[in-house]
């Protein structure tokens, strides 16, 4: 029952998106506001008609611009959880779910709706109207209503954005639990990268309606295909350098950064002399002690910021006191405290060779990165 | 009390409200949800009866309904009846001068239904017609009921247009508002006072109803 779509249009929001999502897979669409995430979901559901492309689910064609096919939302069998849930305000929770059970004989609907509410842990709330339910409960009614349709595809449009942080964590856990039992493609729209990493098997990064990269979350963070993807996935350690040496025999590419050589594993797509963007994920930045200063890729830096949260500390340290050379890394909060990693402290950081990734230079991104360097430290 | 005039007014008000209902619902949904080119002009035209002097509106209706007009000829060919100084003409005029009272509250009620709620009905498998009956009508009914109450009360009280288009023919075009005028002109104070009091009460009930329905829309 794989879902595949190619969506094209130039207005009102430009789209040039390719989406695939297999059975049982959860695909997260991420990107900034206005990148077309919600429009893509609406195209998949048949609520918006793009000018070109196709939408196919299993062996059915739901939309094909070339052949003039456009199946109505009613006929697509899609479960859709809207951002603000869009529950029917005049109906009880039970009636909200029962209304999506029109494919069943009338006498079976109430019992079936009760079952769906029970699956969503909403027993006892059947007779409440949406206005009498908490945000989290409303979201679960919306999810129950979407699933009651026995959809071929489940579409979730920022389903956690309208609830508080505590409820969000609870709902996230429930969704992780629930999706194990669902053998249909699930497409989740979110602007929250943490949410996407937690839930998604793969994520697709969008920008101005264009799909830039689709990959499992870990791979997306470790190997973004472009500086723009790195930016959009909020990669902190993205810098500009120049390729100085290519040594396939020693599996090494040397990049010059702030006048010092950095060793990366051999990346043959770049020529000596090329200006490149390079990045190192937070996990590839390691705090080392003074006697380890001779290790490869070790740089001295001064701590500019320490943010601690739930036992973890995210530390930012500037190399040569430059604002455009701020390395971010994560350590245990207790380690940070014990070793005196406070703002102003000097630290030695090793950038792990295997974690350094070269990316083709992007003038727009370089301009952004360079702009920071012109500011006083 | 001129019972014949009261009965005629009630018939005219009820017929106006009922005939206007489907058209006003259609137009209100259209204006609320599907913006189109020239919508501003249409909305302005619907509002015109609110600001035009009734005599001006009545004058143009008299021109449009008059014996030589294409509309009157068409109507005569179809029914054998005329549009001026008849109940039919009064009803046609009433449908026009009540447009703002019928359309405006309904348009506001439909516009208050979020687009996503209708879309949720569609993706839940409900056809457009089922969505209208099961979701839109139950959500918009206070606005629709308010529109009907306003239309009814306004028709009972309309004077200028009725006088221009219908005159004052007993049993045909003499509504209660006209009857009050006639009685007052004839210094028949007790009859005028009785009928005026009745209209006052009916109008008050209608306006109270509208305001109560308005609260139930915003309080949801």
Number of CB pairs, chain A paired with chain B, less than 8 A apart: 64
Phi-psi region of A321 (alpha: psi -120 to 50; beta: other; left: phi over 0): left
> Do residue B124 and residue A149 have CB atoms under 8 angstroms apart?
yes
**ipTM field:** 0.85
Contacts of B142 in chain A (CB under 8 A): none
Rounded distance between C-alpha atoms, residue B22 and residue B43, angstroms:
18
Domains of chain A: 3-227 (3.40.50.300), 228-372 (2.40.50.100)
* The pLDDT of residue B106: 95
A73 touches B: beta carbon within 8 Å = yes
CA distance A59 to chain B (A): 20
Burial of B37 (0-12, 13-18, 19+ CB in 10 A): exposed
Greatest distance between any 2 Cα atoms in chain A: 77
pLDDT, mean of residues B106-132:
95
Rounded distance between C-alpha atoms, residue B24 and residue B36, angstroms:
17
Query: In angstroms, what CA-CA distances link B2 with A207, A360, B12, B13, B171?
Result: 74, 91, 15, 17, 10
Give the three-class secondary structure for B159.
coil
pLDDT one-digit tens code per residue, A100-148: 998 889 889 999 999 999 988 899 999 999 999 999 999 999 999 999 9
Is the pLDDT confidence value at A279 over 70? Answer: yes
Tell me the percentage of chain A whose pLDDT exceeds 70: 98
A49 touches B: beta carbon within 8 Å = no
A135 touches B: beta carbon within 8 Å = no
Rounded distance between C-alpha atoms, residue A307 and residue A316, angstroms:
9
Is the pTM higher than 0.90? The answer reads no
- DSSP-assigned letter for residue A191: S
Domains of chain B: 3-32+42-219 (1.10.3720.10)
- Helices B99-111/B3-33 angle, 10° precision: 40
> Do residue B123 and residue A102 have CB atoms under 8 angstroms apart?
no
E strands, A259-325, in order? 260-265, 275-279, 285-288, 298-309, 312-319
Give the three-class secondary structure for A154.
strand
Backbone angles phi, psi at A213, to 5 degrees: -160, 140
- DSSP-assigned letter for residue A76: H
> Do residue A88 and residue B127 have CB atoms under 8 angstroms apart?
no
Which residue on chain B is closest to A47 by alpha carbon? B119
* The pLDDT of residue B98: 94
Rounded distance between C-alpha atoms, residue A290 and residue B59, angstroms:
99
Rounded distance between C-alpha atoms, residue B96 and residue B49, angstroms:
8
């Amino acid at each position: 029952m794989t879902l595949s779509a190619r969506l094209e249009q130039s207005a009102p929001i430009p789209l040039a998106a390719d989406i695939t999502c297999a059975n049982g897979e959860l695909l997260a669409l991420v990107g900034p506001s206005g990148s077309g995430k919600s429009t893509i979901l609406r195209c998949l559901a048949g609520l918006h008609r793009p000018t070109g492309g196709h939408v196919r689910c299993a062996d059915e064609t739901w939309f094909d611009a070339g052949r003039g096919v456009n199946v109505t939302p009613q006929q697509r069998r899609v479960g859709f959880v809207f951002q603000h849930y869009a529950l029917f305000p005049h109906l009880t929770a039970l009636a909200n779910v029962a209304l999506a059970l029109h494919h069943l004989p009338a006498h079976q609907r109430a019992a079936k709706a009760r079952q769906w509410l029970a699956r969503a842990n909403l027993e006892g709330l059947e007779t409440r109207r949406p206005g009498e339910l908490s945000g989290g409960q409303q979201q679960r009614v919306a999810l129950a209503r979407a699933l009651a349709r026995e959809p071929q595809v489940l579409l979730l449009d920022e389903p956690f954005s309208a609830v508080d942080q505590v409820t969000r964590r609870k709902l996230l856990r429930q969704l992780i639990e629930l999706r194990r039992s669902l053998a249909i493609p699930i497409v989740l729209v979110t602007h929250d990268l943490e949410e996407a990493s937690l839930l998604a098997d793969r994520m697709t990064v969008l920008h101005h309606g264009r799909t830039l990269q689709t990959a499992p979350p870990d791979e997306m963070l470790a190997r973004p295909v472009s500086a723009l993807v790195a930016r959009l996935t909020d990669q902190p350690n993205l810098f500009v350098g120049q390729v100085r040496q290519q040594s396939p025999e020693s599996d090494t590419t040397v990049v010059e950064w702030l006048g010092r050589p950095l060793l990366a594993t051999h990346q043959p797509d770049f020529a000596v002399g090329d200006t490149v963007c390079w990045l190192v994920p937070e996990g590839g930045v390691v705090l080392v002690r003074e006697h380890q200063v001779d290790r490869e890729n070790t740089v001295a830096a001064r701590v500019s910021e320490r943010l601690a949260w739930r036992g973890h500390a995210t530390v930012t340290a500037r190399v040569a006191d430059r604002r455009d050379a701020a390395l971010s890394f994560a350590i245990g909060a207790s380690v940070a405290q014990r070793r005196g990693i406070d703002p102003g402290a000097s630290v030695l950081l090793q950038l792990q060779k295997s974690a350094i990734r070269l990316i083709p230079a992007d003038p727009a991104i370089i301009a952004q990165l360079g702009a920071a360097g012109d500011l006083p430290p | 009390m001129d019972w014949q005039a009261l009965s005629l007014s009630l018939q005219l008000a009820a017929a106006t409200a009922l005939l206007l209902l489907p058209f006003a619902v259609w137009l209100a949904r259209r204006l609320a949800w599907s913006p189109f080119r020239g919508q501003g002009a249409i909305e302005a035209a619907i509002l015109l009866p609110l600001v035009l002097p009734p005599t001006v509106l009545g004058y143009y209706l008299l021109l449009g309904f008059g014996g030589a007009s294409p509309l009157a000829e068409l109507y005569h060919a179809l029914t054998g009846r005329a549009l001026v100084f008849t109940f039919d003409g009064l009803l046609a005029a009433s449908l026009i001068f009540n447009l703002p009272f019928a359309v405006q509250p309904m348009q506001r009620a439909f516009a208050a239904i979020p687009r996503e709620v209708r879309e949720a009905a569609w993706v839940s498998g409900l056809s457009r017609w089922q969505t209208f009956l099961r979701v839109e009508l139950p959500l918009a009914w206070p606005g629709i009921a308010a529109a009907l109450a306003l239309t009814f009360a306004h028709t009972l009280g309309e004077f200028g247009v009725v006088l221009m288009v219908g005159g004052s023919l007993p049993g045909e075009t003499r509504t209660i508002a006209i009857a009050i005028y006639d009685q007052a002109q004839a210094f028949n104070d007790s009859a005028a006072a009785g009928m005026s009091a009745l209209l006052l009460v009916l109008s008050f009930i209608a306006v109270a109803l509208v305001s109560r329905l308005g609260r139930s829309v915003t309080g949801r």
